[in-house]
Amino acid sequence: MAGSPPRVGVLALQGAFREHVQALERVGADPIEVRTPEQLDGLDGIVLPGGESTTMGILLDTTGLREPLTAAVRGGLPAFGTCAGLILLARDLEDGAVGQRTLGVLDVTARRNGYGRQLASFEADIVLGGGGVPLPGIFIRAPRITRVGEGVEVLAAIGDEPVAVRCGPIMASTFHPELAHDDRLHALFLERITPQL
């Protein structure tokens, strides 16, 4: 039906998926928790939350979600990954656990726990490319983006280091916007989504 809110899946295997569901509701989407391949059907976009990237990778395999999710994003399904979600989307991974695989759909290299372990977690003001009021950036065992591929747009950086990127319908951040209750990145993601009729 025309005018329906976009149906945005939230990978709900582990991590901060509930906070993403709430953020998506606040920006006018219809969020769907995704735990099985069948729940990918009919989505207009998908969010991959923060959490523990190795555990999420194992669960992608045991639930049978890895291949259909990869195929959907490669096929143009808009995706937004935060923290561990960025690791899952990245083409290349530094310091991955033995056997850890990514979906390989975003041309960046990510380094797990790039800022250090839990005790090195921090908050920082993040300014989006257009300027304006900074976003509160919450970095918890956050990855670093150590390489940005050609065609990948840097949306925000701390100094010279990218912390939010976008390439076509794929967007990712190294921090947790869903925990800051600042929905601007979720709203920016929805701008790239066209609901299916």
What pLDDT digit, counting tens, does each position of 106-119 carry?
999 999 877 766 65
The pLDDT score that the predictor gives to residue 119 is 57
Say whether pLDDT at 53 is over 50: yes
Instruction: Find, among 135, 127, 54, 115, the residue nearest to 88 by Cα.
Output: 54
What span, in angstroms and rounded, lies between the C-alpha atoms of 102 and 87?
A: 7
The residues, any chain, with a CB within 8 Å of residue 36's CB and separated by 6 or more, are: 63, 64, 65
Q: Which of 19, 20, 83, 167 is catalytic?
A: 83
Confidence of residue 195 (pLDDT cuts 50, 70, 90): low
CATH class of 7-190: alpha beta
Q: Which of 19, 20, 167, 176 is catalytic?
A: 176
Over residues 39-60, mean pLDDT: 95
> Is 167 one of the annotated active-site residues of the chain?
no
Q: Where are the beta strands (DSSP E) in the chain?
A: 7-11, 30-34, 45-48, 79-82, 90-94, 106-111, 122-126, 135-139, 144-148, 153-158, 161-167, 170-173
- pTM: predicted TM-score of the whole model, two decimal places: 0.93
> Is 150 one of the annotated active-site residues of the chain?
no
Say whether pLDDT at 3 is over 80: no
> Is 19 one of the annotated active-site residues of the chain?
no
What span, in angstroms and rounded, lies between the C-alpha atoms of 59 and 80?
A: 19
Q: Which of 19, 20, 167, 178 is catalytic?
A: 178
